[in-house]
Structure 1
Amino acid sequence: MKEEGRSGGGSRRSRKKKKKKKKKKKKKKKKKKKKKKKKKRRRRKTRRRRKKEEGRGVYTGDNSWCPTEPIIYSYNP
């Protein structure tokens, strides 16, 4: 069997094997890392406690807040 574009005899084994050209690997583009957003700390609990301690109500001792002046409801105008 004669190959195309080749002249001259010689056994297949003696013929020099043509080296296959290595295909260049495409470089993968690096993905840009997204910056993580910093979470704001909530300070709601302390603010609520401070409001209670500012004298908005008098502490009775039974965990209930009552106003400084008792409201008297009267039906007579």
Structure 2
Amino acid sequence: MAQAVEDWYKQMPIITRSYVTAAVVTTIGCSLDIISPSNLYLNPKLVMKNYEFWRLVTNFLYFRKMGKFPSGC
């Protein structure tokens, strides 16, 4: 099973693989409180005034903290 996942991951195009890896790392980092979600959201004022250019990219990488399914699932 692990070999199948590794093969699937290695067969992805490099851009897709990079995006999936960055999204998983960002989501896990937020779930473990290593990264704060408030540092990831897109705020145009902070981008222009404080030069926080990472916000242009990171808002596409974070989905939500991992945890229990919402009620109703």
The reply to whether TM is greater than 0.5 is no
TMscore range, shorter length: under 0.3
- Tell me the TM-score normalised to structure 2 length: 0.22
Q: Could you say which structure has the higher helix fraction?
A: 2
For the pair shown, the structure with the greater C-alpha radius of gyration is: 1
Q: Could you say which structure has the higher strand fraction?
A: 1
- Tell me the TM-score normalised to structure 1 length: 0.21
